[in-house]
A and B are shown apart, each in its own frame.
Chain A
Amino acid sequence: SAVISQKPSRDICQRGTSLTIQCQVDSQVTMMFWYRQQPGQSLTLIATANQGSEATYESGFVIDKFPISRPNLTFSTLTVSNMSPEDSSIYLCSVGRDNNSPLHFGNGTRLTVT
């Protein structure tokens, strides 16, 4: 399976600031996704990162709050904008070959907003 490097691994940020999380894969992948895991919750899909076009966001998530880039088939970024304490979560990059194949995850970014 692909090796997925995500950074930073953790950060503590102040309310109102923004943080960009990077996801680098060691091979080209078709599908890249960003998930969030809030404390005590399940993993929730934020958006699908589309190469060369705008990301596809799930209900409850908007581009202004979570802008995503995917310039090529091995790299993506997620920005958490204008952060509030409610954004404190683990943010996870994941990749997949196609549907009906397992997703593989990076180690996540643990974000704390004070």
Chain B
Amino acid sequence: DQQVKQNSPSLSVQEGRISILNCDYTNSMFDYFLWYKKYPAEGPTFLISISSIKDKNEDGRFTVFLNKSAKHLSLHIVPSQPGDSAVYFCAASESGTYKYIFGTGTRLKVLA
């Protein structure tokens, strides 16, 4: 049972445009959500997070949106840069569990 899903395995975007990565979850008890970026031969790097009391969190070029009723979150990258090309994972957890459930990842390619 995949509790966190990233239905797009890959995405290509032109440099300077917006990249939108999507993530859906099924467990309504999840209340903390994160996005990670992973380059080949490196571990995942934390990008941005959001708790369920918010519907938006912004950090520079990265914004995460949370729609609790739809059990959906998205990561917006504006403007996209070639260095953003990586695999992006969303993750979710339930308070007090210390367990983070990860999606299968979306490979983003930003074209120069």
Contacts and interface: CB of A to CB of B under 8 A. Distances in A.
B25 interface: no
Top 7 nearest A-B pairs by Cβ distance?
A105-B43, A102-B46, A43-B102, A42-B102, A42-B104, A107-B43, A100-B32
A30 to B, nearest CB: 9
A: interface residue count bin: 20 to 34
B102 A104 contact: no
Contacts, number: 57
A31 to B, nearest CB: 6
Interface string A93-104: 010100110111
B44 to A, nearest CB: 5
6 contacts: A1-B46, A41-B104, A42-B104, A48-B98, A102-B46, A103-B100
Given A100-B32, A100-B51, A107-B41, A45 B99 contact: yes
A99 B46 contact: no
Nearest to B6: A42
Contacts of A103: 34, 46, 91, 100
Contact of A100 (B41, B95, B103): B95
B60 interface: no
A68 interface: no
Contacts of B46: 1, 102-104
Interface of B: 4, 32, 34, 36, 41-46, 49, 51, 89, 91, 93, 95-100, 102-105
A28 to B, nearest CB: 17
A108 B36 CA distance: 15
B8 to A, nearest CB: 14
A106 B95 CA distance: 24
Contacts of B4: 42
B98 A31 contact: yes
B43 A42 contact: no
A25 interface: no
A102 B49 contact: yes
